[in-house]
Structure 1
Amino acid sequence: MEDISLVSLALLAGALLATGVVAGIIAGLLGVGGGIVIVPVLYYMFSGLGIDQDVLMHLAVGTSLATILATGTSSARAHWKRGSVDVDLLKSWWWAIALGVIGGATLAGNLSGGALTLIFGVVALVVSANMLLRKEGSAIAEKLPGSPFKELMGLLIGGISVMMGIGGGTLGVPTLTLFSYPIRKAVGTAAAIGLIIAVPGTLMSIYFGWEAEGRPPFSLGYVNLIGFFLIIPASTYAAPLGAKIAHTIAPSKLKLIFALFLGFTGLRMIYDVMM
């Protein structure tokens, strides 16, 4: 997409606006947010626009991380005001998560687009299986393990999340609840973890993609600025519609829908890479 035309710009803007709307509806419907919805939608939107496969997934991940800077800040602030952020845990865990982010972002910057897509697909399948098979309220321990296992978990959460372009909720919430964290505390703390992931993750996406070829117009490294400025307001506007629909569907069915959405997305991405 090196030859920029008004038509290509209009198609790009329209696709990214649609991404925000779809992501907002799904986020409101299923009670999730951030990259776990935005990345796969961006992936297929960019693919449909003919963007180079070498940078396709990197762009989806980088742009998603940038949107989390805005949405994650709002979410973390709201949870902070409600007292649902475990500050003590963050003080002891933030450096391990940040180190994992730096390592994961460095690895992602040197991986092929296919490898990055494969990672997202596999982890999406694991998360989907966890949602389908894990019993409500089940836990493996009454509290998080001590060092060095707690730090290792932080490294993995940060590293895997940044490679997938997601915030702290997808991996952080199930991890914390496995160790008997109350769900609201887990969600609030995970929102704050999302910022620890998104800030260095976005900066490193810009750095590693600075001279990459095949990017769409108005891209700052692997962060597409048109996507950043269109997805945030569109998803914010569309989320209440999804939430309204959610009130007409049983929570168990919503969980099933999201698990199936993730499972299908993961399988499709793996298929795209293998074929």
Structure 2
Amino acid sequence: MTFDDLWLFLPLLLATGGFSGVISGLLGIGGGIFLVPVFLFVFTRFGVSDAVVMQLCVGTSTATVVATSLRSVLSHHKRGAVDVAALRLFAPWLSVGAVGGVIAATSMRSDTLMAVFGTIALVMGFYILAGNPRWRVAETLPRRRVAAPLGGFIGFVCAMMGIGGGTFGVPTLTAFGRSVHVAIATAAGFGLLVSLPAALAYLVRTPSAPVPPLTAGFVSLPAFAVTVIATFLTVPIGVRLAHVLPAQTLRRVFAAFIILAALNMLRKAFG
């Protein structure tokens, strides 16, 4: 993919980036769960090898999540909604898990990675949709011996799937007594803690098959640049909506997007 080629898909990438920014601010999920299927559509149209296409999607998505999560968490922090104590507790384990997730993703076949992405996302979507929003494990944050494996798991799976921290961070934080609005704001920070080390790891990994021009490791620089520009403009819109919409509405919107993205990915994996 060159900058000349990118003009063909520029409207789609701009629209995707803009929508991803709204979703990131609204739901704290970094937008990756929406970006990966769109990137898969774009990269397959440019003839990227099946051996590396899904890894290229995940790596590029992860790089964009760095930008969207940073913008989102700063916007939420200005409103006083971010639980800094939770970020400090989970930070090291999220980052360590993220590096492991990159190693796992770049070692899989693309169709296997698609199936993993779709299956995990589908389970999480139905859990969020059908689960009891009042269910709690505790009313306080977990101790380190619980936070360490839990944070490592979240970092691993999110980096492997190229998504932000909200998909697992929001249910986790609400289970430990945080309101859905605080959980969404804090999960944006989870996304940054996962995506930053993961993006660096994707940049230095060596693809096993040819990738498009202007690609560093598993990150397409043109797709990253266009998406981030659009995303930065729309994240504040999602943040404002997150502090206005009812909690139950947020859960339903969150779940619906995850389920739709999961079904589409499973269709591609087994179709």
TM range (shorter): 0.7 to 0.9
Runs (5+) with no aligned partner, structure 1 = none
Distance 1:147 1:244 in 2: 33
Alignment of 1:171 onto 2:168: yes
Which residue matches 2:136?
139
Deviation for aligned residue 1:261 = 3.5
TM-score normalised by length of structure 2? 0.84
Alignment of 1:160 onto 2:157: yes
Query: In structure 2, do the counterparts of structure 1 residues 185 and 260 end up closer, same or farther at CA, with 3 Å as the change threshold?
Result: closer
Alignment of 1:109 onto 2:106: yes
Query: In structure 2, do the counterparts of structure 1 residues 32 and 21 end up closer, same or farther at CA, with 3 Å as the change threshold?
Result: same
Alignment of 1:74 onto 2:71: yes
Alignment of 1:235 onto 2:231: yes
1:62 equivalent among 53, 59, 63: 59
Query: In structure 2, do the counterparts of structure 1 residues 85 and 223 end up closer, same or farther at CA, with 3 Å as the change threshold?
Result: same
Q: 2:54·2:113 contact (CA, 8 Å) conserved in 1?
A: yes
Runs (5+) with no aligned partner, structure 2 = none
Distance 2:52 2:41 in 1: 13
**Aligned pair count?**
271
Q: 1:17·1:227 contact (CA, 8 Å) conserved in 2?
A: no
Q: Which amino acid aligns with 2:176?
A: F
* DSSP 3-state at the match of 1:192: helix
Q: 2:30·2:188 contact (CA, 8 Å) conserved in 1?
A: no
Q: 2:166·2:184 contact (CA, 8 Å) conserved in 1?
A: yes
Which residue matches 1:86?
83
Query: In structure 2, do the counterparts of structure 1 residues 107 and 74 end up closer, same or farther at CA, with 3 Å as the change threshold?
Result: same
2:261 equivalent among 247, 252, 265: 265
* DSSP 3-state at the match of 2:135: coil
Distance 1:21 1:194 in 2: 18
Distance 1:186 1:195 in 2: 14
Distance 2:100 2:29 in 1: 26
TM-score normalised by length of structure 1? 0.83
Which residue matches 1:127?
124
Deviation for aligned residue 1:159 = 0.4
Q: 2:76·2:239 contact (CA, 8 Å) conserved in 1?
A: no
Q: 1:27·1:37 contact (CA, 8 Å) conserved in 2?
A: no
CA deviation string 1:181-213 (max 9, x = no partner)? 1233322322222111111110111112x3443
Percent identity at matched positions? 37
Distance 1:181 1:203 in 2: 31
Q: Which amino acid aligns with 2:180?
A: I
CA deviation string 1:18-71 (max 9, x = no partner)? 432453465578775421221222222323333222222111111111112222
Which residue matches 2:211?
215
Query: In structure 2, do the counterparts of structure 1 residues 26 and 179 end up closer, same or farther at CA, with 3 Å as the change threshold?
Result: closer
Which residue matches 1:180?
177
Q: 1:162·1:198 contact (CA, 8 Å) conserved in 2?
A: yes
Structure number, greater radius of gyration = 1
Q: RMSD value over aligned CA atoms?
A: 3.1
Alignment of 1:224 onto 2:253: no
* DSSP 3-state at the match of 2:52: helix
Query: In structure 2, do the counterparts of structure 1 residues 26 and 200 end up closer, same or farther at CA, with 3 Å as the change threshold?
Result: closer
Which residue matches 2:36?
39
Q: 2:94·2:152 contact (CA, 8 Å) conserved in 1?
A: yes
Query: In structure 2, do the counterparts of structure 1 residues 240 and 155 end up closer, same or farther at CA, with 3 Å as the change threshold?
Result: closer
